Chain A
């Protein structure tokens, strides 16, 4: 299964036969007080700093989230999408839990966006999917519903089946435009969560061959040496069949882990990409 997303001039393909897709997570003010204050004051300069860092780190797609409390999120998201698209041709993952913000973002977006996200919750589906259809976007679907986020892989897989029934079956969104977010949970608070994550990924890939993503940094919440733990998680998840992740492209360890998994899974033939990225300086 191949999911394509694009900007006005660049297309990125996510798929099992493609290099792991790095969706840069950093253009997001959550937990960043100074950035939030700037945004509320209408200063979007930090957005471009974050964009530069994510691109320099190796991002293929940029997640843009403007979830600032007590601010006009739809306006901020639309503005920052225009700003980012003026700066780079990387496709964007439009990220908001506010439907009006997704709407405003999609309205100004040039190309085929990836929308983040919809869940199994009925009101979310009814609000988000018409927008996705109208703009011909791809959609990240979260494997949780009104009852909460299940730990067991069997239950998450049930949510995935439900998502396929609803998003593809009922709303007729093509399967290739669905990217399933299997939900990475903190392994420090729920010791079996990563095990169930890998099992879910494997089950979804075997049954539907859908593309899979997650917010990878969540895995290491509350732990020391977070980048190392995240990178181990990313490599294992890629091994189980995950094809993309919303992750911090500034982390060399995490980026190297997914690039390494490309080599080991035979997607980076002869490791030519790896060599290009990591060739030591010439000695002559």
Chain B
């Protein structure tokens, strides 16, 4: 197999979520002399981008996005130590969690998978995450973005509580805050002074990339 053929096959198998084959191809690619960067940026990430685009158009469905993301996550486990060694920067670092009082995590987990698929490093704090836990995690991991999820109208107010806690800790301007979950709207995100809202996993990836690009442009300007 030529390098081009291997990258094409890796792209194809990632798209259809063939986990074992994606790991095999990743290992084979490394053996054949492809760099971790090439495998990531010329096959894996484009595959997930295409899955996201098809999902957004309504041509593809949640389970397809899920298995493609999982297949990619398998490849990333192989590549991550190598990428770290070569100093390849991740697209961004994400701390994620479902707010206190709320145990719903299916949507959040989907977003995590798509973010990892897009090349983000995701630190998932799980469910029932109290404000002080969010603050601790932002301090410890210094993420580009903090993502919060809530599924109930009663737990949505925790967004504001968490943002207040960040402010109190002097961290609010150090991190982009995104919110999401079934009852959440753009209007609500604005009302609690979050930096953004996304309606689904694919939109969350796009928004995250945009906001980080803006922030980095601002930082270098």
Contacts and interface: CB of A to CB of B under 8 A. Distances in A.
A36 interface: yes
Contacts of A73: 153
Contact of A189 (B66, B152, B183, B184): B66
A221 B104 CA distance: 14
A31 B180 CA distance: 12
B18 interface: no
A134 interface: no
Given A33-B185, A149-B103, A186 B62 contact: yes
Contacts of B109: 189
B191 A70 contact: yes
Given A67-B153, A222-B63, A146 B106 contact: no
Interface residues on A, range: 20 to 34
Given A186-B106, A188-B66, A70 B188 contact: yes
A224 interface: yes
A148 interface: yes
Nearest to A70: B191
Contacts of B153: 67-69, 73, 96-98
A120 to B, nearest CB: 11
B182 interface: yes
A76 B101 CA distance: 23
B198 to A, nearest CB: 14
Nearest to B110: A189
A196 B106 CA distance: 16
A46 B153 CA distance: 20
Contacts of B41: none
Interface in B37-56: none
A73 B154 CA distance: 10
A207 interface: no
Most buried by A among B103, B104, B153: B153
Interface string A10-41: 00000000000000000000110100100000
Contacts of B115: none
B128 interface: yes
B127 interface: yes
Interface in B72-94: none
Given A69-B153, A70-B188, A189-B110, A222 B62 contact: yes
Interface in A152-202: 185-186, 188-190
Given A36-B185, A73-B153, A97-B152, A147 B62 contact: no
A49 interface: no
A69 B159 CA distance: 12
Interface in A110-169: 144, 146-149
A223 interface: yes
Given A147-B103, A148-B127, 9 more contacts: A30-B182, A31-B183, A69-B185, A69-B188, A144-B103, A188-B66, A189-B62, A189-B110, A223-B61
The 8 closest A-B pairs by CB, nearest first: A222-B62, A67-B153, A97-B154, A148-B103, A188-B63, A69-B188, A97-B152, A188-B62
Interface of B: 61-63, 66, 103-106, 109-110, 127-128, 152-156, 182-185, 187-188, 191
15 contacts: A30-B182, A30-B183, A33-B185, A36-B185, A69-B153, A69-B185, A97-B153, A148-B105, A148-B128, A186-B62, A188-B62, A189-B62, A189-B63, A222-B61, A223-B61
